[in-house]
């Protein structure tokens, strides 16, 4: 199974998805992260695949093929036929399967880590959007479940909104599925400074949830090592306590 999803030319596949218009990339990423790619069938390992991508009430059939001369090409059953969001989502899912296959082979001692290193990505918002999805895929060696993709999508929406206000409140926790007994619009103090990325954002939230006695979703545990931020939290709390003690009576 692993060999079936190892692409002959991963770099060409990545160049193919980067060739799509920015708006198609954005909408295609949304469909991928929402788990809209229903099936991925191997026609010829490494070079040819069929996928079914759900979109509203329709299922769109996508064919992905690789030719050494022309690179990756695709055709969709939707009216757009080519360069559509369904093709982008399908190729994103195929690349995720490829990365997962490489990780499983490394874990089994069948491949070297060097073979798993993808070429550098363009630093676009689309690449940032895959951060937690890619982390989860790499760590677990499998494509995230639909439930995990929905949770990560919701988390990212909250992160982008909170990044504008630099605040996080009880309602945001409720949106993530963690309602607290206290209901308030007052901002929660979870971090010394607003997290610089989506992963740190989740780690601070996970640390708070643990303190409050919540169980974080099982599917998020592989990428939830709060020890990565423990030193920052300890230093912040120590400084807060010192300032409190120095206040005049």
The mean predicted confidence, pLDDT, of the chain is 81
Contact 187, 212 (CB under 8 A): no
pLDDT for res 124: 39
Instruction: Give the residue, 49 or 98, on which the prediction is more confident.
Output: 49
Mean pLDDT value of segment 143-148? 87
Instruction: Give the residue, 101 or 160, on which the prediction is more confident.
Output: 160
Closest to 175 measured CA to CA, from 150, 207, 194, 197: 150
Instruction: Supply 159's token pair.
Output: 């992160």
Residue 116: count of CB within 10 angstroms of its CB: 16
pLDDT band at 115 (very low <50, low <70, confident <90, very high): very low
Instruction: Supply 199's token pair.
Output: 């992963």
pLDDT for res 108: 61
Instruction: Give the residue, 182 or 91, on which the prediction is more confident.
Output: 91
- Taking 60 as the threshold, does the pLDDT of residue 65 lie above it? yes
pLDDT for res 242: 66
pLDDT band at 84 (very low <50, low <70, confident <90, very high): very high
Q: Is the pTM of this model over 0.75?
A: no
In angstroms, the CA 225 to CA 100 distance is 21
| DSSP structural state of residue 7 | -
In angstroms, the CA 152 to CA 159 distance is 10
């Amino acid at each position: 199974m692993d060999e079936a999803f190892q692409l002959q030319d991963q770099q060409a596949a990545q160049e193919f998805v980067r060739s799509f218009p920015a708006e198609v990339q954005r909408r295609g990423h949304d469909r991928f992260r929402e788990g809209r790619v229903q099936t991925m069938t191997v026609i010829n390992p490494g070079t040819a695949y069929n996928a079914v991508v759900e979109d509203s009430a329709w299922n769109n059939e996508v064919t992905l093929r690789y030719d050494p001369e022309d690179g990756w090409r695709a055709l969709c059953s939707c009216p757009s036929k080519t360069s559509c969001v369904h093709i982008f989502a399908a190729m994103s899912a195929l690349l995720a399967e490829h990365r997962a296959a490489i990780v499983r082979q490394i874990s089994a001692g069948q491949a070297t880590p060097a073979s798993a290193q993808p070429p550098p990505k363009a630093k676009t918002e689309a690449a940032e959007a895959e951060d937690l999805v890619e982390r989860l895929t790499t760590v677990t060696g499998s494509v995230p479940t639909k439930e995990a993709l929905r949770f990560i999508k919701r988390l990212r929406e909250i992160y982008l909104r909170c990044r504008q206000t630099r605040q996080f409140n009880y309602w945001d926790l409720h949106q993530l599925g963690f309602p607290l007994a206290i209901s308030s619009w007052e901002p929660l103090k979870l971090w010394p400074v607003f997290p610089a990325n989506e992963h740190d954002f989740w780690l601070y939230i996970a640390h708070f949830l643990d303190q409050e006695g919540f169980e974080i979703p099982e599917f998020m545990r592989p990428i939830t090592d709060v020890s990565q931020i423990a030193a920052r939290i300890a230093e912040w709390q120590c400084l807060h306590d010192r300032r409190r003690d120095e206040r005049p009576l």
